[in-house]
Amino acid sequence: MAELKKTNEAVDATPNVSEVETVEAATEEAAVQAIEAPVGRGEPILQVRNLVKHFPLTQGILFKKQVGAVKAVDGVSFDLYQGETLGIVGESGCGKSTVAKLLMTLERATAGEVFYKGQDITRLSGRALKAVRRNIQMVFQDPYTSLNPRMTVGDIIGEPFDIHPEVAPKGDRRRKVQELLDVVGLNPEYIHRYPHQFSGGQRQRIGIARGLALNPEIIICDEPVSALDVSVQAQVINLMEKLQDEFNLSYIFIAHDLSIVRHISDRVGVMYLGKMAEIGTDVQIYDHPTHPYTQALLSAVPVPDPQMREGRERIILTGDVPSPANPPSGCRFRTRCWKAEDKCATEVPLLAVPERFKGQDTPAAHESACHFAEEKDVVHAA
Amino acid sequence: MPEKTAATTASTGTETVTTTAAAPDTVLVTKAPKARSLWSDAWHDLRRNPLFLVSAGLIVLLLIVSAFPGLFTSASPRDADLANHYLGQPNWSHFFQPDWFGYDGQGRSIYSRVVYGARASIIVGVGVTALVTILGTLVGMIAGYFGGWVDTILSRITDIFMGIPFLLGALVVLTSFEKRAIWVVILALVFLGWTQIARVARGSVITIKQADYVVAAKALGASTTRILTRHVLPNAVAPIIVVATIALGGYIAAEATLSFLGVGLAEPTVSWGVDVSSGREQLRNAPHVLIIPSVMVSITVLSFLMFGDAVRNALDPKLR
Amino acid sequence: MTIIEETAGVPAPRAGGEASGPLLEVRDLHVEFHTRDGVAKAVNGVNYSVASGETLAVLGESGSGKSVTAQAIMGILDMPPGKIPHGQILFRGQDMLTMSNDERRKIRGRKIAMIFQDALSSLNPVLSVGYQLGEMFRVHQGLSKKEAKAKSIELMDKVKIPAAKARVGDYPHQFSGGMRQRIMIAMALALEPDLIIADEPTTALDVTVQAQVMDLLAELQREYNMGLILITHDLGVVADVADKIAVMYAGRIVETAPVHELYKRPAHPYTRGLLDSIPRLDQKGQELYAIKGLPPNLLKIPTGCAFNPRCPKADDICRTEIPALVPVTEQDGSELPGRGSACHFWKETIHG
């Protein structure tokens, strides 16, 4: 599949002039070249800086006036390195799915930048944007709604080739689709079937095959297994890990299931109400969490092991997640936090290595947005 | 992993057909591992539905009659023989003979007029439905998919047209034409009738555009045209077809009504509505002149209503 | 605590009706759905029982028949296409399937209440929660509007909805997911039923809220000494609250056990596979164990043991003979109370 990258000349030969508006032809050319350039393993491939997405709340039918905004994502920064899996966890409404949409340029960011190989994709359009879209793909949560029920499996997996014809010549497509089916563990004979003839797990495999078709570098997975049965989840997770090695993919893995995220991720970011609360390697986050929210989240996970469960400290938070339209001042977690003090209501804690752990060679020394960051192991039995 | 390794020899030629928007109903299902689409499932249901079989049979018969009226009668609908046949009574045993249904006030064979009149009804019904479906789907799809001010403007226009009473509107439009050929009647009905389809189309497009598969296509970089023709339209088409078939009967009735009121089709065009209108004059002494074409209109309208109902049930089994 | 009496596939004849017997007993229940493509056998001979104050967790994946069994108990199966060709559902010894509609109505809703997964669609969006809660009292107990409202507030307090008095007039959409689920629990509790069936009550909720709701449910169950049937696919949730577990696969119970025992030593390869396929929170594992193959097609359940095409231990006998749910014993033959396994090779699975 690697040889597909060579067919880029085909794009350059047929520039889509009508769409070129914001970027001049020359700079666009440079952008496309930058996007096509390879990135070394372990180097950042995606850099997200201060990403903000506010959805305006309006009133009135004819003359709309803005009465507020849902601050779905409110200043999120992180890096994704080539070949790694970055897990993003959080509860509903924390903005993790909006982050996925922003990275996919399905939503326009209110502010902030997303650099893909040095190009800010929030400002790209036309050919350069199309090139980015080819390289960043997505796997959706619900395998029942993410496949068009009126299309055959062959048409669904082949659609990326219709949109980016330079990737596979017409006569070659059927073979490519069958190859992809084989790669994701489905019978290549299935290409004439319709999605509803498959079980949930099989459909998710079809979704993954579609994501792989253009040979992308990054795949954003938004809750890819949460709609699947337990016995099938493991199959899909294993498949995704296998594909990552085989095609040298970088994953952003968004999920609410902390156990699965730990299993698949190299690094993990914890989000709360549109902000990143804590980010670090899986060991740092799971075994040495310093943010109270992470600790509460981890302690609440029901563990299928009564012995381990009994030895564990449980932090039960009170109340619900506040509305992102009207988040608390200062630290957003303070309304549910048992450590909250006056400072938390006035000062927004920055995502940084806490002062007390700075310069220390301990797993607790990772970025955490808490004024009173403190290490606490809630996962292992005491 | 694969439970069935047997070759799936399903659907002959489906993959090429599906490139046109609303065509996947041509799936031909063969043996065991079926490539089942919504349409083949619906067909499976319909074949066993007596309501569908009866109505479809009647509709097919009507279509044949209107295409080849000469096959069903030798008499011309315009041959008037006042001397011999003035208001002749029906001879119920003379099947397919010119005097089967009797004669009208000008000595013309009613049976022959019924046969030739079918064409006008079918042309008006099918023509209006086709145009209304195209126009309504287009407006509804654009309004629903793009939303925002486009939707606001198109929806308000739809509302305005919906506010016009159908019959009154048609009367006003048609009286402004001096010569009323069949296409004038069709256009008048389209002018007033497209709103219903537009509403249905808008509603289903709004639901569909939020579906993940549409988002997935956007993420791939698909153009708007592609999203609309490949993803939105094929999924929105089922409710539109249902509403359209049910409305078809209504348009046939509307043509008859307008012709009866004297603003639709007129002599020398042969149409059931025209015959009902002229039969009114001799209602007292020769009711059959009015009743027979009226019954034809009713049967036709009913067939299309039943047909539409059956199709809706088959496409949306949850309704039952 | 009672344990599951019938360990064999056939229902044991038991004198029911006495106060000492189980609250609810399902005997050899079969449910099938007649569809366009054939007969889907959703439940194929299920036996279980719950006593007052006891929590039975029914664990299974989609299509295992766990929810269909509950729907049959509640009488909310869609019939047709659903059909109950065989079986008994005994509430305090009386078979609900053979009693008159009137008698049945008296039990369902009053004596047995159900909590659904999706609280938003189970509540009427155009009526205030206070009205919907009060309706239970007005209809079933004939209370006045005022009394019913007071009772509603009391109930909302009971399920720990903050500022119950102020929120009694609010509409369902004004509450968060966790609060709505509490309202559902309040509605189920309103008539102080003897048994609550909770179908995936926390699946739609966030982890931090899940814990709150589960705790609340457990607490109320203790307080009212109710029986609780908890239907779930989440092995973690079960571990927290259940007394005993019944694992279902393809419409049959494949394993029963007290909760701790099940996790420590599963006696059925399916249970073992499920436990092994969950990633751990406290350490990073290697490749996950995955049960191979697909969940069974209910139109075409494999012959013999339904799990045989996916089972690592499957042998010829598994493809021909349906294993009965037999009592599981210790290696030396001593009894393991409450344990049963429907596997030809249970000995190898638990002791091997």
Domain end call among C156, C177, C192: C192
Mean pLDDT on A293-316: 79
Backbone angles phi, psi at B13, to 5 degrees: 80, 20
Are residues C204 and C181 part of one domain? no
All structural domains of chain A, each given as residue ranges with its CATH number in brackets, are 2-44+82-95+124-265 (3.40.50.300), 268-368 (no CATH)
Q: Is the pLDDT of residue C273 over 70?
A: yes
Q: What is the reported pLDDT for C4?
A: 44
Q: Is the dihedral of CA C75, C77, C82, C86 positive or negative?
A: negative
Residues written for chain C: 352
pLDDT in tens, A240-288: 999 999 988 999 999 888 889 999 999 999 999 999 999 999 889 999 9
Q: Say which residue, C288 or B136, is predicted with more confidence.
A: B136
Q: What is the reported pLDDT for B175?
A: 87
Plot region of C2 (φ>0 → left; ψ -120 to 50 → alpha; else → beta) = beta
Q: What is the reported pLDDT for B275?
A: 85
- d(C-alpha C167, C-alpha C148), whole Å: 15
Residue A342: partners with Cβ closer than 8 Å, 6 or more residues away: none
Q: Say which residue, C23 or C21, is predicted with more confidence.
A: C23
Contact C176 A259 (CB under 8 A): no
A216, two tokens: 């992308």
Strands lying side by side in the sheet with C244-249: C112-115, C195-199, C227-232, C55-59, C244-249, C252-258, C335-341, C326-329
Contact A263 C233 (CB under 8 A): no
Q: Which helix (H) or strand (E) holds A29?
A: helix A25-36
What count of Cα atoms within 13 Å lies in the side-chain half-sphere of residue B197?
30
Domain end call among C176, C192, C208: C192
Q: Is the dihedral of CA C161, C167, C168, C173 positive or negative?
A: negative
Plot region of B110 (φ>0 → left; ψ -120 to 50 → alpha; else → beta) = alpha
Q: Which residue segment(s) compose the domain that C146 sits in?
A: 120-192
Residues in C closer than 8 angstroms to A308, CB to CB, are: 282
Residues in A closer than 8 angstroms to C287, CB to CB, are: 238, 241
Q: Which residues of chain B have pLDDT under 70?
A: 1-38, 316-320
* Lowest-pLDDT choice from A167-171, B222-226, C250-254: A167-171
Residue A233 contacts C where some CB pair is shorter than 8 Å = yes
Residue A382 contacts C where some CB pair is shorter than 8 Å = no
All structural domains of chain B, each given as residue ranges with its CATH number in brackets, are 121-308 (1.10.3720.10)
Domain count, chain C: 2
Are residues C201 and C179 part of one domain? no
Which of A:117-146 have CB within 8 Å of B? 129-130, 133-134, 137-138, 140-142, 145-146
Are residues C346 and C211 part of one domain? yes
Mean pLDDT for chain A? 83
Are residues C42 and C159 part of one domain? no
Q: Is the pTM higher than 0.95?
A: no
Are residues C301 and C201 part of one domain? yes
**Interface with B, mutate which of A192, A222, A236 (most B CBs under 10 A):** A192
Mean pLDDT on A95-110: 89
Plot region of C178 (φ>0 → left; ψ -120 to 50 → alpha; else → beta) = alpha
CATH number at residue C204: 3.40.50.300
**Residues C90 and C11 sit within 8 Å (Cβ to Cβ):** no
- d(C-alpha C323, C-alpha C269), whole Å: 13
Q: What is the reported pLDDT for B317?
A: 53
- List Cα–Cα distances, B85 to A23, B81, B107, B111, in angstroms: 83, 6, 5, 13
The single-letter DSSP state of residue C34 is E
Contact B2 A150 (CB under 8 A): no
- List Cα–Cα distances, C174 to A164, A229, A272, C151, C207, in angstroms: 45, 31, 21, 21, 21
Residues in A closer than 8 angstroms to B7, CB to CB, are: 189
pLDDT in tens, B131-153: 999 999 999 999 999 988 899 89
Q: What is the reported pLDDT for A63?
A: 65
Which of A:276-305 have CB within 8 Å of C? 282-283, 286-287, 296-298, 300-305
Are residues C326 and C315 part of one domain? yes
pLDDT in tens, C153-212: 888 888 888 888 888 888 888 887 778 888 888 888 888 888 999 888 887 777 777 878
Q: In chain B, which ranges are continuous DSSP H helix?
A: 14-17, 38-46, 50-67, 82-85, 110-146, 148-163, 166-175, 182-209, 212-220, 224-226, 233-260, 272-279, 288-315
Question: Neighbours of C (≥3 Cβ pairs closer than 8 A)?
Answer: A, B
Q: Is the pLDDT of residue A5 over 70?
A: no
Are residues C46 and C94 part of one domain? yes
B12: nearest CA in chain A? A192
Q: Is the pLDDT of residue C266 over 80?
A: yes
Taking one residue from B and the other from C, the number of pairs with CB-CB distance under 8 angstroms is 9
Closest CA to B250 of B167, B158, B187: B167
State the residue for tokens 């792989």.
A212
Domain end call among C171, C192, C213: C192
Mutual orientation of helices C129-141 and C145-158 as an angle, nearest 10°? 120
- d(C-alpha B160, C-alpha C114), whole Å: 48
Residues in B closer than 8 angstroms to C294, CB to CB, are: 1, 3
Contact A302 C237 (CB under 8 A): yes
Are residues C204 and C182 part of one domain? no
- d(C-alpha C245, C-alpha A95), whole Å: 36
Contact A241 C294 (CB under 8 A): no
Residues in A closer than 8 angstroms to C237, CB to CB, are: 302
Residue B96: partners with Cβ closer than 8 Å, 6 or more residues away: B72, B73, B111
Mutual orientation of helices B288-315 and B233-260 as an angle, nearest 10°? 170
Contact C294 B44 (CB under 8 A): no
**Residues B24 and B237 sit within 8 Å (Cβ to Cβ):** no
- d(C-alpha C291, C-alpha C308), whole Å: 11
Closest CA to C29 of C72, C62, C64: C72
pLDDT in tens, A188-220: 888 888 888 888 888 999 999 999 998 899 999
Identify which of B3, B41, B45 has the shortest CB distance to residue C294: B3
A286, two tokens: 């799971």
Residue A18 contacts C where some CB pair is shorter than 8 Å = no
Contact C233 A229 (CB under 8 A): yes
Are residues C302 and C275 part of one domain? yes
Closest CA to C61 of C271, C242, C267: C271
Q: What is the reported pLDDT for B36?
A: 59
**Tell me, what's the ipTM?**
0.80
B160: number of Cβ within 10 Å: 10
- List Cα–Cα distances, A97 to A53, A72, A111, A191, B212, in angstroms: 11, 9, 17, 30, 13
Are residues C163 and C215 part of one domain? no
- d(C-alpha A32, C-alpha B107), whole Å: 82
Mean pLDDT on A20-47: 71
Q: How far is C209 from chain B (nearest CA, A)?
A: 27
Q: How far is B202 from chain A (nearest CA, A)?
A: 18
C285, two tokens: 């594992």
Q: What is the reported pLDDT for A52?
A: 92
- d(C-alpha C212, C-alpha A244), whole Å: 37
Contact B45 C36 (CB under 8 A): yes
Are residues C78 and C133 part of one domain? no
pLDDT in tens, C129-161: 888 888 888 877 788 888 888 888 888 888 888
Q: Which helix (H) or strand (E) holds A133?
A: helix A126-135
Contact A300 C208 (CB under 8 A): yes
- List Cα–Cα distances, A375 to A294, A364, B138, in angstroms: 11, 6, 61
Q: Which long-range contacts (CB under 8 A, 24 or more apart) does C345-352 make?
A: C345/C269, C345/C313, C345/C315, C346/C267, C346/C268, C348/C313, C349/C266, C349/C267, C349/C268, C349/C269, C349/C272, C349/C313, C350/C265, C350/C266, C350/C267
Are residues C147 and C59 part of one domain? no
